[in-house]
Chain A
């Protein structure tokens, strides 16, 4: 019994799963919106699209998009996606996951997927905490932030995700916020057309939990921070793109041509088979 969702993007969504579970003001819905908008612009073949998500609020995205989708164990989305892509390189494999899933428990898989330059596209929705489980601090939680596991203020330095992605070898690295909806959509379109490992970090409001603990009680206040502090930069040094209260460097940081893993593997297999032919 599929209820009709009378929205132009309804064909990309699983109407029976709507409305989604995300809180009022949560940026996850905006990322989903931009993502399906990009699919619509490109008229992507949805039969060849595979969405892989990890555990977390954003992990539910796989269940909301009307394409083949898989919701993996915590942190393992990229490893799973690697298997999917290599087994069938014709598939467009997109990993949509969160800061904790991709960079704490999933950190090791991230750096290796980027290093290999496997043609999997990653949308990392960074809400600066572990939203699903109640807002605990994570690898992107800002210094001094209050969370249920850092009640006196976070004493860990957070990751600079674009720097990490660039240093690990990604072919495309960008950062936007959920306020930069147009540019985010364009980045996603670019990422879907590019070969190799592509990564977009999207800063996103978590008003119910992170916002509430850190004096940004409504989504509007957190979006206000994005508006105040964002600076659009073109291919600036990702190493200097740390997020602070005063400055959020957004834009594209890396866009290079680099042979993807599946291309290298395929070329190697062809060479080996040629040698076998010579022997015969």
Chain B
């Protein structure tokens, strides 16, 4: 039986996933934790270091997973983090493709 691939875009091999480059202005951070909590790809974690405000700013743990959703930039109350598009925009699509077999 021929395998039909469902749930996959036809141009999946050509689509470039936008990746982000995260910038931290560490001394602006007040340690609220919103960026860490609400990142959909869990890119950020609380760091060990202590900044000028006496809190642990975030650190970028998995920048390669960043999809440049911009949520961290928007939800930060302290203008301490922002993301810009990574120059090398052509990234491989890391999608899981579901293969559905039909009888």
Contact = CB atoms under 8 A, between A and B. Distances in A.
A29 interface: yes
A26 B37 CA distance: 15
Nearest to B76: A33
B79 A24 contact: no
B34 A25 contact: yes
Contacts, number: 74
Contact of B28 (A19, A27, A219): A19
Contacts of A104: none
Given A7-B25, A29-B79, A37 B30 contact: no
A220 B77 contact: no
Size range of the interface on A? Answer: 20 to 34
Contacts of A9: 79
Contacts of A37: 74
Which of A10, A19, A185 counts the most chain B CB atoms within 10 A? Answer: A19
A203 interface: no
B33 A219 contact: yes
A193 B64 CA distance: 38
B23 to A, nearest CB: 8
A20 B30 CA distance: 10
B92 interface: no
Nearest to A10: B79
A1 interface: no
Contact of B79 (A13, A23, A179): A13
Interface string A177-194: 011011001000000000
A79 interface: no
Contact of A5 (B25, B37, B74, B84): B25
B46 to A, nearest CB: 12
A7 B29 CA distance: 13
Size range of the interface on B? Answer: 20 to 34
Interface string B77-95: 1110010100000000000
B75 A30 contact: yes
A223 interface: yes
Interface in B38-90: 38, 53, 55, 71, 73-79, 82, 84
Which of B28, B74, B76 counts the most chain A CB atoms within 10 A? Answer: B74
B20 interface: no
A123 interface: no
B32 interface: yes
B32 A220 contact: yes
A33 B74 contact: yes
Interface in B5-28: 23, 25, 28
Contact of B30 (A5, A25, A30): A25
A143 interface: no
B31 to A, nearest CB: 5
Given A5-B25, A7-B82, A18-B28, A29 B76 contact: yes
A185 B32 contact: no
A28 interface: yes
Contacts of B30: 19, 23-25
22 contacts: A5-B28, A7-B25, A7-B79, A8-B73, A8-B82, A13-B79, A18-B28, A19-B28, A19-B30, A19-B53, A24-B31, A25-B33, A29-B76, A30-B76, A33-B76, A33-B79, A178-B75, A179-B38, A182-B71, A218-B33, A223-B34, A223-B38
Given A29-B79, A34-B74, 10 more contacts: A7-B82, A13-B79, A19-B28, A19-B53, A25-B32, A29-B77, A30-B34, A33-B79, A218-B33, A220-B32
